[in-house]
Amino acid sequence: MEGVSQRHLSLFAAMSLVVSSMIGTGVFTSLGYQLNDIQSGFSILMLWLIGGVISLFGALCYSELGAALPKSGGEYYLLSRILHPSIGLSAGIVSATVGFSAPAVIAAIALANYLKPVFPVINEKFFAIIVILAINAIHAFSLRFGKFFQTWSTSFKLLIMFLFIFAGIFSLDKQDISFLPNLSDLDILFSPEFAVNLVWVSYAYAGWNSSIYVVGEIQKPGKNIFRSILIGTTVVTFLYILLNYVFLIVSPISDLRGEIEVGYISGLSLFGVKYAGYISLLIGLLLLSTVSSYIYVGPRIIQAIGKDYDQLSFLSKINENGIPFNAFTAQLVISLVFILTSTFKQVVLYTGIILIITTTTTVCSLLYLRIIEPDLKRPYRTWGYPYTPITFVMLNLWVLFYTFTIQPVESIVGVCMMIFSLGLFYILKEESKYES
């Protein structure tokens, strides 16, 4: 076992990790930015459907890799094993920092914002620090309680979302908006703005590959990696489309456009000002499982890196409960730096761009692995191969092309972070214990 005693994550626990990682701030915030460029109901829903399809195709590809190479570490291990340790280390560093620490911080700050109508004295950054500290403590000291908290907070999240969707669909006061396609929608679907807005959607779907990072802790990985990712991604895609449909039918586009707290605004339209505090409180509580899932997964990547590099070996140490405590501490420090130095929009854009680059590289490694190791035992083979991975790669390259064109500063910063991470390998390589 890799760092934690025995394979202790059931299919349901692994699936809840995927679902809770995916459903976070993205779906409750990104619609407002999307409506700045796109006001068509059909195009907005297509944006979320295409984002779901991209994630699902990526999930199918990752499932093959995780089942064939069942070791924790996510892209760090996979890319080190298949391509080169330097590429794996770069992916591992950005995954542990921008991929998990940053989204945990975003969710914690959003949670504070949603609680502010109920508790006006809250300072967002200070409260986010308290949340990050508390949930790190839960997962760093008790494996059993951490799993319990993760599973039940995810179940609570799904229940509230289903109730919100049900109330919206059966609401009598609906906006006059059409979701039927017209000729102008075709131009929108192939526009640069549509492609760039897929970055926001990609951020909202981030986390579909969460179970890959804890492969070494999942029971029956040959079957359950695929099932957890497929079921989790499908459920979340379905919920995202319905949730954005509800946002659009209960609130005027003019009220949502450019706003971050679209969930709160839609809740006000649906339930009225009288219940504003309860709505805000519930949406805030939904984000607890999101913070929890990112905090649970991130240290497993840091721990895997620590195992392979002598200079970072202290990060792989585990406590008496089999938990990588030093890795949790490192992630906590990274999270605090993000809270104190970054804005919401900056972190989301950096995260979206870097995650697209990392996942695209990993899916390309699947194609390469099929060529160089055709006889490798593969308990699960990607459905629709090779069209599934090729489609995933092409769609992501299309998104990246327009993102670099329209958002060059954020894109360059993202690439520079990856290059910096790549360079660290050549500083540490003399001490590397990595074995392919």
pLDDT band at 349 (very low <50, low <70, confident <90, very high): low
- For residue 15, pLDDT over 60 is answered with yes
Quote the pLDDT of residue 61: 92
Q: Indicate whether 410 pLDDT > 70.
A: no
Mean pLDDT in residue range 315-322 = 77
| Residues 233-245 pLDDT 10s | 888 999 999 999 9
pLDDT at 5 (0 to 100): 46
| Residues 19-56: tens digit of each pLDDT | 877 887 778 778 888 888 888 889 889 999 998 888 88
How many domains would you assign to the chain? Answer: 1
What does the mean pLDDT of the chain come to?
81
Q: What percent of the chain has pLDDT over 70?
A: 93
pLDDT at 436: 46
The pLDDT, as a whole number, for residue 149 is: 80
- 6 lies in a domain? no
- Residue 351 has a pLDDT of 67
For the segment 183-195, what is each residue's pLDDT rounded down to a tens digit?
888 888 888 888 8
**432 has a pLDDT exceeding 60:** no
3-class DSSP assignment, residue 377: coil
Asked if residue 3 is part of any domain, the answer here is no
Q: Has residue 18 been placed in a domain? A: yes
In sequence order, what are the beta bridge partners of 9? 218
Three-point CA angle 139, 144, 149, nearest 5°: 65
User: Which residue stretches of 95-207 are H helix?
Assistant: 102-115, 124-141, 143-169, 183-189, 192-205
Please write the tens of the pLDDT for every residue from 246-305.
999 988 888 888 777 788 888 888 888 777 778 778 888 888 888 888 888 778 888 888
User: Which whole number is the average pLDDT over 53-63?
Assistant: 89
φ, ψ at 8 (rounded to 5°):
-115, -5
Run of H or E residues at 394: helix 387-406
Question: 251: domain range?
Answer: 11-431
Quote the pLDDT of residue 394.
Answer: 92
* Per-residue pLDDT, 328: 86
206 closest CA partner among 285, 136, 294, 120: 294
Residue 366, Cβ density class (10 Å: 0-12 exposed, 13-18 middle, ≥19 buried): buried
**Beta partners for residue 158, in sequence order:** none
Q: Which residues contact 228 (CB under 8 A, 6 or more apart)?
A: 11, 14, 15, 17, 18, 211, 218
pLDDT value for 224? 80
Res 388: pLDDT: 93
- Residue 141 Rama label (left phi>0; alpha psi -120 to 50; beta): alpha
Does the structure show a pLDDT above 50 at 326?
yes
pLDDT given for residue 79 in this prediction:
92
Task: Let me know if residue 1 belongs to a domain.
Answer: no
CA distances from 45 to 176, 183, 185, 275 (A): 16, 16, 11, 28
- 436: in domain: no
Among 149, 129, 143, 108, smallest CA distance to 332 is for 129
Residue 372 counted as domain residue: yes
Distance CA 340, CA 347 (A): 12
Q: Indicate if the pLDDT at residue 353 is higher than 80.
A: no
**Nearest CA to 422 among 367, 329, 354, 363?**
354
- pLDDT of 4 > 80? The answer is no
Residue 147 in domain? yes
What digits encode the pLDDT tens for the residues 133-165? Answer: 888 888 877 777 777 787 787 788 888 888 889
Query: What is the domain-level CATH number for residue 356?
Result: 1.20.1740.10
pTM metric for this prediction: 0.78
Q: Does 378 reside within a domain?
A: yes
pLDDT greater than 50 at residue 393: yes
